[in-house]
Amino acid sequence: MIPIKDKEEKKAPEKEAPDKTEKEAPEEEVKEAEQAAEEPAPEKEETPAEAPAEEKKPEEKAVSEEMALLNDKYLRICAEYDNYRKRTQKEKDSLYGDIRANVITSFLPVYDNLTRALAAETSDEAYRKGVELIMNQFNATMEKLGVTEIKAVGEKFDPSVHNAVMHVDDETKGENEVVEEFQKGFKIGDKVIRFSMVKVAN
């Protein structure tokens, strides 16, 4: 007869085997889950619902072309308006300058008469003082209007501002030097409203 103790020892190993398989099974499942996480996800296939987006591209292209044309037209209109504004402002300034020059030119004979009155000899000091006051007031008004005198005597002859009516040979004077002024010249800015009438030496 087999002892009872031996039978129990033989059965013991049979009970340990299933316990081992139960412990190993979860580890294999964890490894499979980790491998699945590391593998890249399969690319998503395009669904038929995305197809209509390609059909709208020609319409979007037409809209973008129309917007580009409208933008170009807008820029052209802005440029034309800016040029028109500058041109009209320039014409306005030029017209104002011409009108001012014409008005001042009409008053220059008064200046010439005042100059002759001051050059004339007189014993009446009150008369002379009165003429000087009028001349000073006239010059102040001309200055406010932006009118300046053209320098002549002692300057070199400049055909852009001087009008030579006489010529004289004088060794004491320089070449093309203005030695005498017969009529005062004036200008507004760089614009001459009356040339200075002068005598030139050498």
pLDDT, tens only, 134-180: 999 999 999 999 999 999 999 999 999 999 999 999 888 888 999 99
The fraction of the chain above a pLDDT of 70, given in percent, is 72
Q: How far apart are the first and last CA of the chain?
A: 165
Which of 25, 183, 10 minimizes the C-alpha distance to 109? Answer: 183
Which of 165, 111, 167 minimizes the C-alpha distance to 136? Answer: 111
Query: What is the tens place of the pLDDT at every residue in 95-126?
Result: 888 888 999 999 999 999 999 999 888 889 99
pLDDT number for residue 8: 47
For residues 39 and 72, give the distance between their C-alpha atoms in angstroms, rounded to a whole number: 53
pLDDT number for residue 9: 47
Task: Give the count of beta carbons closer than 10 Å to the beta carbon of residue 7.
Answer: 10
β-pair type (147-149, 162-168)? unpaired
**CB 139 within 8 Å of CB 171:** no
β-pair type (196-201, 177-183)? antiparallel
Q: What is the dihedral of CA 89, 90, 93, 98, to 10 degrees?
A: -140
Domains of the chain: 68-145 (3.90.20), 149-202 (2.30.22.10)
pLDDT number for residue 201: 93
Query: What is the tens place of the pLDDT at every residue in 14-70?
Result: 444 444 444 444 555 556 656 655 555 555 555 544 545 455 578 888 888 889 999
pTM assigned to the model? 0.55
Q: What would the two tokens of residue 165 be?
A: 């009516």
